[in-house]
Amino acid sequence: MAIKYKRILLKLSGESLMGNQEFGIEPLMLKHYAEQIKELVEAGVQVAVVIGGGNIFRGLQAKETGIGRVQGDYMGMLATVINGMALQGALEGVDVFTRLVTAIEMREIAEPYIRRKAISHLRKGRVVIFSAGTGSPYFTTDSAAALRANEIGADVILKGTRVDGVYTADPEKDPTATRYETITFTEVLNKGLKVMDKTAFTLCQENDLPIIVFDIGRKENLMRIIKGEAVGTLVEG
């Protein structure tokens, strides 16, 4: 089978693991992602994953509890490690080899991030799960995804969301909103559209790294994208 993208970085939100729950991890969602990722690996795609921690704790919520921003951001990073461990377990449950890599050293459960080692794992067919964000406060997991994708030489960032692409307005609030099939980085900025946070988006723009925003809920979408089919919204140029 011909594939368009040989090495990808899949960006998932922590909230996507909640399913219909208000917080935490829904086992069916873990299985949903693990089966899709396994299909990519079997097709010969090198897969890296960055997952958020919003289903457990968001750094930006820390102010409401009286916790300082820096402390809250570190707590959010630890939440991404928990999600990474859960996804690792789900992948290993379907016989996919993985490596959990963290930007904050915790040797008993994950490898420290070393760029060349991460690339070596990908070349050997292992799924690399990047956790703990960038390891620094004030940066989101979007920024971590953009940074790691550029560092490992990914062909594309696949951002899985609840909606099937980038729209002229929020489709959940505006029924007249229409979806873009393709759009340039400059157009996204000029129109004030939300794709990733500004730091992450600029990093992708400056390094010509395309982003595909798509509906992760549809099981067939990841394979369709890998085959080169038009799914979601492609941001490039």
Q: Where are the domains of the chain?
A: 7-236
Cβ of 32: how many Cβ atoms within 10 Å?
18
pLDDT tens sequence across 133-158:
999 999 999 999 999 999 999 999 99
Task: Give 20's strand partners.
Answer: none
Going by pLDDT thresholds of 50, 70 and 90, the confidence category of residue 171 is: confident
Q: Give yes or no for residue 189 having a pLDDT over 80.
A: yes
Provide the pLDDT for residue 61.
66
**How far is it, in rounded angstroms, from Cα 209 to Cα 195?**
14
More confident residue, 13 or 62: 13
- Residues with Cβ within 8 Å of 223's Cβ and at least 6 positions away in sequence, in order, are 36, 39, 40, 43
Identify which of 228, 200, 205, 219 has the alpha carbon closest to the alpha carbon of residue 35: 219
- Tell me: pLDDT of 62 over 70: no
Q: Binning pLDDT at 50, 70 and 90, where does residue 2 land?
A: confident
What pLDDT does 20 receive? Answer: 82
Assigned CATH topology for domain 7-236 = Carbamate kinase (3.40.1160)
Summary mean pLDDT of the chain: 93
Residue-level pLDDT at 79:
95
Which residue in 94, 89, 83, 80 sits closest to 40, CA to CA? 94
Is the predicted pLDDT of residue 1 greater than 80, yes or no?
Answer: no
Under the banding of pLDDT at 50, 70 and 90, the label for residue 119 is very high
